[in-house]
Amino acid sequence: MTVLVTGGAGFIGSALVRALVGDGERVVTIDKLTYAGNLDNLAAVLACAKHTFIRADICDRMAIAAALREYRPRIVYHLAAESHVDRTIDTPSACIETNIVGTAVLLETALDYWRSLDAAGRDEFRFLQVSTDEVYGELGAEGQFTPESRYRPSSPY
């Protein structure tokens, strides 16, 4: 089956796409190619038969739903974001559109897609939201965060 990566032309997303394709996964990358996205980051996999690139905005419900319907991923890794904190202050609407509206569109279309799966497909499906360690605040004496760590934001996040 297939893995779908949003924001796959960005810094972390492109590294993930390259690693997944290297592991033999069939990967579909969705990216709007904003100032932060660069197809050069995907040069190693663009011509690969196991990789498909779709230029789309995650706010575009029809485009996202069509990609889910066509490629039927078992995992969605969501990395598309306005990730630069200074820009979220200078141009907040783009941040709200992508980080909030776009994420909601992705979650809703993924839920619709999940409902269309059979029982085994529902069990297997995962939606992985890539966020930031900032939601946990400062790294404590234990030196790592775990799923049990409490949210303790120390910044305006």
Ligand X SMILES: NC(=O)c1ccc[n+]([C@@H]2O[C@H](COP(=O)([O-])OP(=O)(O)OC[C@H]3O[C@@H](n4cnc5c(N)ncnc54)[C@H](O)[C@@H]3O)[C@@H](O)[C@H]2O)c1
Known catalytic residues are 133-134, 157
Distance CA 40, CA 18 (A): 12
103 binds ligand X (CB under 6 A): no
Cβ atoms 58, 106 nearer than 8 A: yes
Residues that bind ligand X (rule: CB under 6 A) add up to a total of: 25
Task: Using alpha carbons, list the distances in angstroms from residue 48 to 41, 42, 52.
Answer: 14, 10, 8
> Where in 25-54 is the site for ligand X (CB under 6 A)?
31-34, 36-37
Residue 87: count of CB within 10 angstroms of its CB: 15
- Residue number with CB closer to ligand X (4 or 36): 36
Q: Name the residue number minimizing CB distance to ligand X.
A: 10
- Binding flag, residue 79, ligand X (CB under 6 A): yes
Contact between 37 and 3 (Cβ < 8 Å): no
Among 20, 45, 58, 76, binds ligand X (CB under 6 A): 58
Q: Nearest Cα to 106, choosing from 114, 95, 118?
A: 114
Identified binder of ligand X from the candidate list 81, 95, 106, 110, rule CB under 6 A: 81
The yes or no reply on residue 7 touching ligand X (CB under 6 A) is yes
Binding site for ligand X (CB under 6 A): 6-7, 9-13, 31-34, 36-37, 57-59, 79-83, 98, 102, 130, 132
